[in-house]
Structure formats: structure tokens, C-alpha cells
Structure 1
Amino acid sequence: MDYSAVTSTYEPEVIVDTDTLSREDWLTYRRLGIGGSDVAAIMGISPFATIRDLYYDKVGIQPLIEEDEESNWVAKEVGHRLEDLVAEIFSKKTGLTVFPVRKMFRHPLYPFMVADVDFFIIFPDGSYGILECKTCNYNAKSKWDNDGIPINYEYQVRHYLAVMNMKKAYIACLYGNNENEFVIRSIERDMMEEEDIIAQEEYFWKEYVEKRVEPPYTGKPDLILASIRRYSGYADKSIPEIIISGLESKDLEKYLELSEEKSLLEKRKKEIEVQQRALSVPFVERLGAGCKAVLEDGINRYKITYNPTIRRTVGKDAMKKLELQHPDIFEEYTKETESRTFRIRKEAA
């Protein structure tokens, strides 16, 4: 059965049948080219990775500090397991037939472009389209407001349309636990946008990946700092003081200015908090052990809450005792993490 559009001037090539691939083998094939979820990093707008992270992945450079898989494995697994459910809800709501094709495809004209599509759609006129299935929590629903689509997902789907040579795609997202908490967005193929995406991908692949040249960091500073840490490794205090050249001291001066500004704001914040606590005293006194109250002044009605926050902590002495008396338990249930703080002290030359 031909799953490409019947009016194609080109048809995508099949790289491999993914149905029986292990995750490791699947990742190996993904490194042969740029996938849909890679495009946002190339464009510098990925919420998950920088362009440098993507480069390292494609050329096979492993991070020195591995990602903590235990911290996010549930979210990843939920998204994977619910793909079929999202497709089923989409089909029910639209009346369109959807089906999976467990193959990895490649663009015949731009072989660095690969696609591993969630589901395909059969339209009433016999043509085919793409269905990309997503899940998110309720707090992330706002990203879809006003008929919007998160830009990283839009780039992903436009990449798939280019590889598959199809004209239309849908993105479906489940953000709750019933079929009404569901978003459907359509994307029509835009050849001008596609041309720009392909140009950016081609430049990344040919100028960086093929030439083994590291791309400059772009994207969110937090992502960049996390990436530098992963690939630089843990702190080593035995390394001698490094003389830095080629960077401008004016950036350090600006950093110091911002530090002073931040200190003033934090001081003002503490002053405000003291005033707020003073104003709350008579109300807390009246509440006693109570957790909620109401005050009415004839114009407004104020609902007051004074709820407890319970935390269980283990003191340093108890931790030391546990380490000494039960080292096996201590090793099993504790985890050492490292964070680093960037500070500047200005001195006369």
C-alpha cells in the first residue's frame, strides 16, 4: 500500500522498519539525520535542548554528566503510552481514519532529513496527512490558547510534511483525563516556511555535523548553562586558575551592576515581607488554630486562609548516624548532586 500522497512529485524513502527496533538501535538510526523533534534546537527555540546538544548527539559525543533518567521517566512514558489513546480520541472527534506506519522515512532530495511519524490520516478524498499526538498537564494548556500551537511542535510537523511530501497535518493534545480536555490544531503546508526550515537544517548538517565543527550556543541561558555543565563534567578544584582572554570585561561590569540591583530589590522585598507580617498579626491572633476566616466591611468580602505546610526532614546528625550504622541503606536512598555558583569579585589590577 502506497502511504505517500498520490500526486507526489517525490516519495519518501524508507530507512528502516522501526517496529522491532530496540531503543538503542532506534537512536542510532535517528543520528543518521535530523528528525522532526530536532528542528526547534536548530532554530534556537527548543525548551529542551540547545543546538550544541543536538550537534553532540549527532556526532556521538556523550555527556560527562548523564541526565537523571529517574527524574523524568514517568512523564516520557506517559506521553509514549497515551499516543494510541490520543489518536483514538482524534479519530472519534473528527471521523477521520488514522493508522500507524512503523517505519523511519528519509527525504529523497535532502537525505539528512528523516521522519518517524506517529500516525497517518486518510482524508475523504483519498489523500494522506499526518497526525502528531501530544500530551501535557493542565497547567500547560495555555500554550494552546487562541488556536495557538507551541512553535517547537509546529516546526516538528512542518518537517514531517516536507519529508513525506504531504499537504496537511493535525496536532492533537490531551491535557486532562476526559475527551473534552483535548485540543486539535491543523497545519497546512507552507512552502516558504518549509524552504527556510530546510535551509537551516542543511546549514546545520553540512557546516557543523559533516565538518565536525561545534555550533555556537543559542537558546535559553538556563539550557546553555546546563549543557556546558553536562559536557564539561563535575567541578575539579585541582585545576589551576584559568587566564581568560578574548572576552570583554564590560560584560562582567554589567553582571556586577545587575548583582547590586538585585541586592537592592531583595532588600526591599524583605522590608515588604516584614510589613506584611506585622499587618497579619491581629488576624492570625483571631484565627488561633483555625485555618480560614472571612471579613466583610459592607463593600468587600475578604477570604483569609492560614493553612499549614508540613515537611518531613532528616537532620544532619540523623543522616550521619544512618550513614555509620546502616551504610547500605544510606547508599540506596541518598543521592549526591552537584550545583555550581558563578560569582565575581572585582580587584585592582
Structure 2
Amino acid sequence: MKILKLTQGSPDWLAWRQLGIGGSDAPIIMGVSPYSTREKLLGQKLGLVPKDEAYAMRRGSRLEPSARGMYQIREGYSSAEPVCVIHPDFDWCRASLDGLVLGAMDQPSHVLEIKCWSWQKHDYVLNGIVPDEVYPQIQHQLFCCELDRCDLVSYNPSEKFLATGEEYACLTVKADATYQASMFAEECKFWEELNERLRARTVRSGWQAPITEDL
């Protein structure tokens, strides 16, 4: 994988995400996102539909540092910094990781994905269940990084869970080669359709679209 130094949330980071398929796009492409659709995502990548910053995303950004710190303390990892990565062979295949955990000799060991979910989904993780909507995101990240493990952390510091000491939950998710193959095929179709629409706009208006040809 190629590792980039981009500040998450910065204009450069937003532009970089726009020019590829990231982990948060994968559930939409695979049809399991409760928040968006494939057609809406195409519109956003084309710049025709504005992106919305949902309350859950703002809440996650605020709580993520605390969740990461708790993960490092409880699981015993000294480094789990957020990074941006690109697949070594497919430039459009990208991921903005909540954490890349380093192991022996400071080599990448596994991915950290942090969710600051509502109590219902937090309960799923407490009970060892990976919510359907996050599975494609995790598999996309693992494929992009060529790693075989992701630690999914759910953090909900509400009174309901603080009272019982259950505000933190961690599940290990392994790479699923069969699922990754079907997901990659769908992502290739999406990327090809996006580029076809970009070409059509270029022909009609003379606008120079950023097209990546590495399917």
C-alpha cells in the first residue's frame, strides 16, 4: 500500500477522497448503506449533489480521539495513527483509516476502524455482531491495505453504558477474500460508469475531468 500524509478533514483530504473510491463508499456501492444510494454517490462524485455532514459523522469526529486512546490502552498498542492509503495497483482504490496499527519492527499490522454509534448498534458489537453496513467498509480497507485483520471499535460514552462499564467494545474482523472479490467487481463497475459520465460531460462542455484509467 501507499501511505499519504493528509490531514483528515482538510481541503486536500476532501479533494483526494473525491478522486477515488473509499471505504465509506463501499457500503453504498454494495447496496447496504442506510444513508445513501449508488446513484446519489455517483452524483456526489460528479459534483452534482452536495455531500451532507450528518450528526453521526460530527459526533464521531469529536469522540474518535478518546476511542483511539482507549483502544491503545486496553489492547496494548503504542501506535494507531490515522492515515490515508492507496492500493499499490489501483490508484482509485483508497482508504482513510481511523488507525493503522503497527506491530513488530514498526511494520503495519492491522487496521483500526472506530464507530461512535447509537446504543442499538453499540449493543450489536457488545454482543459480537458486526453491523451489515460496516462490513463492506472494513473489507475495502483490508483489500486496499493488503492486510488480513481489522479491529472494529464501538465507543458510546452515554450514561447507559458508562454505568455498566460497557462504553467500549472491540471486535476483530478478518479479511474475506470471496467477499472482497465480489466487492471489487462492483467497485470496478461503479468506477467505469463514473468515468463514462465524466467523459460525456467533457465532450459536451469541454470541461477537463480528472479520469483515472487503471481498472
Structure-2-length-normalised TM-score: 0.79
Residues 239-285 of structure 1 deviation map (CA, whole Å, 9 limit, x = unaligned): xxxxxxxxxxxxxxxxxxxxxxxxxxxxxxxxxxxxxxxxxxxxxxx
- Runs of 4+ more than 4 Å apart: 124-127
Contact persistence 1:33–1:114 (CA under 8 A): yes
Please tell me whether residue 112 in structure 1 is matched to residue 100 in structure 2.
no
Task: Name the CA distance, whole Å, in 1 between partners of 2:177 and 2:186.
Answer: 14
Deviation at 1:43, TM superposition (A): 0.8
Verify the 8 A CA contact 1:97 1:123 in the aligned structure 2: no
3-state DSSP of counterpart to 2:79: strand
Q: Summarize the alignment of residues 160-239 of structure 1 with structure 2, pairs less than 5 Å apart.
A: 160-177=141-158, 178=162, 180-206=166-192, 208-212=193-197
Q: Which has the higher strand share?
A: 2
SS at match of 1:211: helix
Runs of 5+ in structure 2 lacking a partner?
Answer: 199-215
Q: In 2, are the aligned partners of 1:135 and 1:174 still within 8 Å (CA)?
A: yes
Partner of 2:203: none
Give the % identical residues: 24
Letter in 2 for 1:18: L
Amino acid at match of 2:2: E
Q: Find the structure with the greater CA-based Rg.
A: 1
Q: Give CA deviations for 1:122-170 in whole Å, capped at 9, x if unaligned.
A: 3468651111111123243343364111122121111111111112110
Which of 19, 28, 34 aligns to 2:21? It is 34
Which structure has the higher relative contact order (CA within 8 Å, separation 6+)? 2
Quick check: 2:121–2:131 contact (8 Å CA) kept in 1? no
Unaligned 5+ residue runs, structure 1? 1-11, 214-349
SS in 2 for 1:117: strand
Q: 1:196 is matched by which residue type in structure 2?
A: S
Q: Which residue does 1:46 correspond to in 2?
A: 33
Q: Please say if 1:17 is aligned against 2:2.
A: no
Partner of 2:213: none
Query: 2:34 aligns to what SS in structure 1?
Result: coil
Question: What is the one-letter code of the residue matched to 2:175?
Answer: R
TM-score (norm 1): 0.50
In structure 1, C-alpha distance between the alignment counterparts of 2:181 and 2:32, rounded to whole Å:
18
Looking at structure 2, the residues matched to 27 and 193 of structure 1 have their Cα atoms a distance apart, in angstroms, of 28
Q: CA RMSD in A?
A: 2.4
Task: Please report how far the alpha carbon of residue 115 of structure 1 lies from its aligned counterpart in structure 2 after TM superposition.
Answer: 0.8
